[in-house]
Amino acid sequence: MNTFNLTKIIASLTCCIMLCSCGRTNNSNVNNNNNTSSQTSKNTSAPKVKINLKDYALMGFKGYDTIGDPSNYGIDTEKMVQDNSEAFGGSTPAIISDVSEYFDISIDKHLLSNGDVIHMFVGDRYKELSDKYNVDINADGLEFTVSGLTELQEIDPFDSAEVTFTDPLDGTQSRICSFNIMGCYKWVDCNIDKGVANIGDTVKITFTSALEGRTVEQAFAEDGFKPTQTEKEYIVE
């Protein structure tokens, strides 16, 4: 091979190397530009949407006054997500179901009376929603005033009590004391403190609750009644 041909080959190889090198440099610059653009987009998120749970808290009441219960209470997560779908990235059933999992609902009072104030609590997990979605949730002040419970019918249960004193067979001055309650009270018991007493003595009849953990007034309330008295004394005749 002569010197002229060798020089042409070397020159051609040098040119190819320079072109390849230039191609790699340009691609590197393009990739760097793309990375910068992506990073900038990630760091410019929209402000978090503020949500007050009071706007979506549900609370109802049922039963009789003094022994009422909360009913159908909780957070309407479906409406909350739909109203703020952009912040949640949509309002699909899957998103609504996921958001619901972050609320641990409880209340602070049972055996309610009209006018009572009851509080709802949602736990602490809801705070994690601000990391998962573009929201800032306020759970303060979830309190409700009880209303709408059925008023109790005021009664004197002794109006339906029949008390009798029977002569004993032995002819003494004592009497056999007994009573009968004509009223129908499902959740109360009634007793007399003396089965036998002398003429002129007093005996006491007392209504008590048949429900564990309930007062006699609450037991009457289960039947819709409010007693004016729950014990009464009678003179043996």
Rg (Cα) of the chain, in Å, rounded?
41
Position 37 scores a pLDDT of 33
Residues 6+ apart with CB under 8 A from 112: 61, 63, 66, 67, 68, 69, 70, 118, 146, 149
Q: What is the DSSP string of 119-144?
A: EEE--SGGGGHHHHSSEEEE----EE
For residue 12, what pLDDT is reported? 46
Cβ neighbours, 10 Å, residue 154: 9
> Can you tell me the distance from the alpha carbon of 129 to that of 139, in angstroms, rounded to the nearest whole number?
12
The predicted pLDDT at position 142 comes to 97
Residue 126 confidence (pLDDT): 96
Q: Parallel, antiparallel, or unpaired: how do β-strands 49-52 and 135-138 relate?
A: parallel
pLDDT score for 45: 63
pLDDT in the model for residue 156: 96
Helix (H, G, I), strand (E, B) or coil at 41: helix
Task: Provide the pLDDT for residue 201.
Answer: 94
* Domain range annotation of the chain: 1-44, 49-145, 153-235
Residue 27: per-residue pLDDT: 42
Q: Cα separation of 180 and 164, whole Å?
A: 8
**Segments of the chain with pLDDT less than 70:** 1-45, 169-171
pLDDT of residue 10: 38
Query: 107 burial class (0-12, 13-18, 19+ CB within 10 angstroms)?
Result: middle
Contact status, residue 175 vs residue 166, Cβ threshold 8 Å: yes
What pLDDT was estimated at residue 105? Answer: 97
- pTM, two decimal places: 0.70
What is the tens place of the pLDDT at every residue in 133-192?
A: 999 999 999 999 999 999 999 999 999 889 999 987 666 778 889 999 887 789 999 999
DSSP lists the bridge partners of residue 144 as 118
**Per-residue model confidence (pLDDT) at position 171:** 64
Class of residue 61 by CB neighbours under 10 A (exposed 0-12, middle 13-18, buried 19+): buried
